[in-house]
Amino acid sequence: MRDTPRAAFAAFLSLPTRWHDNDIYGHVNNVVYYALFDTAVNQYLISHGVLDIHGGAVIAYVVDSGCAYFRPIAFPDLVHAGLRVSKLGSSSVRYEIGLYRNDETVPAAVGHFVHVYVDRASQRPVPIPPATRALLQTLA
């Protein structure tokens, strides 16, 4: 994971760091990495028209996550988040996200999280909608 090249990811989004992302040690705090993962995935889904965070009947919840940290990120770095799908189930998907600092070729961190798709009203798992599944297959 430490040497995962950018080419291992199917899509990229650029996310700027912010002044308040740095902690007392002068680098981005570990909780911000999880926010970057969540932002990258959800921004990708929204921009491709398969996630309506306000009115969609089907939404996705994070049920598992993790991160391996390799080198620090600090404001004003620009983070390039690489996305790929490593497992696509009937109602869940496991994303892997690589965070690359500026123009670096190896990741500063690699993480994952699992979304489970649920009916907004009942909060019960449902199959991944067909349009979402088709998009996710392009990341696999």
Q: Which domain holds residue 67?
A: 6-139
| Number of domains the chain contains | 1
> Helices in the chain by DSSP H: which ranges?
30-47, 130-139
Averaged confidence pLDDT in the chain:
96
In this prediction, residues 44-68 reach a mean pLDDT of 96
Single-letter amino acid code for the residue at 89: G
Classify residue 16: in a domain, yes or no.
Answer: yes
Q: What is the reported pLDDT for 1?
A: 80
In this prediction, residues 43-53 reach a mean pLDDT of 96
Give per-residue pLDDT as tens, 90-100.
Answer: 999 999 999 99
Classify residue 26: in a domain, yes or no.
Answer: yes
pLDDT(2) > 90:
no
Instruction: Give counts: helices (H), strands (E), the chain.
Output: 2, 5
- Tell me the three state secondary structure of residue 98: strand
Contact status, residue 22 vs residue 47, Cβ threshold 8 Å? no
Of all residues in the chain, the percent with pLDDT exceeding 70 is: 100
- Tell me the three state secondary structure of residue 48: coil
Q: What is the reported pLDDT for 91?
A: 98
Q: What is the reported pLDDT for 86?
A: 97
Classify residue 132: in a domain, yes or no.
Answer: yes
In this prediction, residues 63-72 reach a mean pLDDT of 97
Q: Which CATH number characterizes residue 71's domain?
A: 3.10.129.10
In this prediction, residues 63-68 reach a mean pLDDT of 97
Classify residue 37: in a domain, yes or no.
Answer: yes
Classify residue 1: in a domain, yes or no.
Answer: no
Give per-residue pLDDT as tens, 74-120.
Answer: 999 999 999 999 999 999 999 999 999 999 999 999 999 999 999 99
